[in-house]
Structure 1
Amino acid sequence: MSRPQPLMSVYNFTSAQEPVILSKGTVEVSLDGTVYRGTADLLLPLIPSPRLIFHASLQGGEISPLVFAFKETTESSFSFSGLGIEGFCGARKVGENFENWELDWHPKFEPLVLCDMQSKNSVSAIFHLFNFPDFNGGQYQDAAPAGCAQLILTSEEWTFSLQALPDGATREAWKRIKAEGVCCLTHMVKLERNDGKPFSGKDAGEQCHLLDNFLAFVKGGWCTAVCGVGLAGNGEKTWTTFASPRTSNPPYSWFTPFKASQAERLFPMFANRWQQSDEWRECLQTVIYWYTQANTSGRSLSIDTAIILAQVALERLAHQYIVVDRKMVSGKGFDDLWASDRLRMLFSLCGIPSEITHAVPDISKKNDGFSNSSKWLDGPHAIADIRNSLVHPVSKKDVRGCYVDAWKLSLWYLELSVLALCGYGGTYTNRLTATYTSDSESVPWGQKA
């Protein structure tokens, strides 16, 4: 049986040094009532940071070149191929021999949609993924293109196929990412309906939003699929969207890159929670946002903020599950609980152990030194107390040596809580005990039916 062909990039992202041209079109620019017309390229520079920019070459306008280049603009508008683009004017300069003028326009919103997404149907869509971990061990690797690691993420109605780039390009991209801290294309994504029916660009955008949040939880940092292209059955493009990739490179996550089947197993469960209700969708979006913000370098200057954000995320999950979902207590009753009791209730329902162990040595050692009346009862008590010492100016305990442990423990609780509430029962990387990113163990609550 022959292997399928690998998914190929629609745009030339091979060089991070030069901006990538995504689209070309005609433009009309108005600056303080003076109208200029010409052509523009929609560019995606990846260095120093990814951002969309229209670079326009203009003619016309009854104004001197020097005034064009240096006059401050109070009113401006920009139209690309007849479509108004909200944004602001950037760099302006006069071309050689004063024959043409150049202008950069920065879009206010992303993704940019330059066509009718609702009426244009496709049978598949291709997206570009930047800085996603170099994984292997997927369940469907036998059906992947030769030399390309593959993840198949399937929900009730949709399937995403994530493929590494051919010819070792993903590995080479990660060498650059680690050495230079740049943003590089690492994978391609294909979206299809399970029943093979066509879908609109709007439908694809909604599914891509789900995927972005899922991949952020998998990676532990932002990782968005961008620059989507809808494809008809004959391979013709039906719609396009444009956006700059949003990436971060966190130190840890629960995901074991060498056991990619973890993500494949979690995805349908995550999608079910996401689609369960508007409240759950909003909760997961919020929690994953705070999670990615908190999952920074453990000894950075922002560790105090990371501790606070991680526990805000935990309390948000606890409220959604205990008050909204299970209706075990009222909203007022939940608010009246101590923070540690809210977390303790959540962890008990999820099957997450709460005792303090030597996996958090600074917290364990500090607790041993406290008097019996001051000791922390368990992990929820410890992280809530340490968080309170950061939020409130007066604290009876000196817990400054426990910040790294509190950060790790809070994120460990957060990762396990999301996994448990999705119904996941497989393996994961334990950030408290793992020596290498390849280490994995079963979740504490064991296998679920």
Structure 2
Amino acid sequence: MRIFENLESEVRGYIRSFPTIFETSKGAILTNEQGEDFIDFFAGAGTLNYGHNNDHISKALIEYIQKDGVVHGLDMATSAKKDFLQTFQDTILVPRNLDYKVQFTGPTGTNAVETALKLARLVKGRSNVVSFTNGFHGLTQGSASVTGNNDYRDESYISRTNATFMPFDGYFGDMNTMAYFRKFLEDSSSGVDIPAAVIVETIQGEGGINIASKEWLQELESICREYDILLIIDDIQVGNGRSGEFFSFEFAGINPDIVTMSKSIGGGLPMAVVLLKPDLDQWKPGEHTGTFRGNNLAFVAAKVAIEQYWQNDDLTNAVKYKEKIIKEELQKIADKFKDELEVEVRGRGLACAFDIKGDISIAGELSSYAFEEKLIVETCGSEDQIVKFLPPLIIDEETLVEGLKRFEKAVSRLMADKKEKLSGEF
């Protein structure tokens, strides 16, 4: 690992949590240079919904490259883009009665968020944007301004005006936070300007797997319609099947004005899109651009992924089946160690949380112990107090169960070590 310490910036993060050199990967398995296999319950922070080196995607990419298909095309017309757009329209949008134009942005999620915020302000002629406590939307200037965690906001020393934070669903326990939001809008002396847009995750990934209810989302949409506010759903981490449905907002029956997507939409390759209702498409040609908004390899991968996994409900049903397995097994672990740990298990689809109350250091320690058991699992939450489970959607049941067994071993070892250390102090 010395070469990384000597040559790579100190900003590197995940390499510190998982200090080994990975060489190959397949499905839900990462293999290091020593030939050791690790079960991946992280999936590139939700980028690898279809697993590492998916056979269908790899085959299509190899064929495309071998025939000298266009790799980089800015926003010029290419066969790869044409095929993706048609497939996305026919297989994803039309069956869900969704009418969106598609805008390709720079290659990562924060590019999509920046684009959505800029467009909302342009269309509405207002500057304020409402975001929510514990929300995460990216780390460039505009995205950071609507991201809640100070760890991500303070380092840039930017002006963080034109963003107002409201409490997410459940932030105050049983309190209806939409009534709280409405009061600020109703009162002309509240100090909150009517926003151009509201941006929200239906499942807060980095924020701690906090899950918005159907009723809360429906009330949010209603408020947006009443006050002429654009509703932006950030579906970057939990869209593309992570919740079970292709879009994480489908279960609530809402119709957002703008949807941001990245991570798994590109089949594991860099790609980000903004879906916008046609009447919002008020850009002048070239008004918002980016050199890598035309990643044709990602178009190829995305088209194949949609054709392979979204022609029917098989993947949705499989995700919901695996959700039950994860939550049941995590609850068993929580019950087994209830005398040592206070844990809440929650989740929707294959985004699940093992939320440890009290000692906030335990989640990070558990991630380290899990790594020793050859399991990749990360933390999230405002204090990194939650162990987050994001396995590939296509993970087979045997590997899923084995990964959960490894996590249980990690918890057992950690609790035993803590007990031994405590006894040694007396």
Query: TM-score per shorter chain, which class?
Result: under 0.3
Structure showing greater relative contact order (alpha-carbon pairs closer than 8 Å, 6 or more residues apart): 2
1 or 2, which has the higher strand percentage? 1
1 or 2, which has the higher helix percentage? 2
Whichever of the two has the greater Rg, that structure is: 1
TM-score, with normalisation over the residues of structure 2?
Answer: 0.22
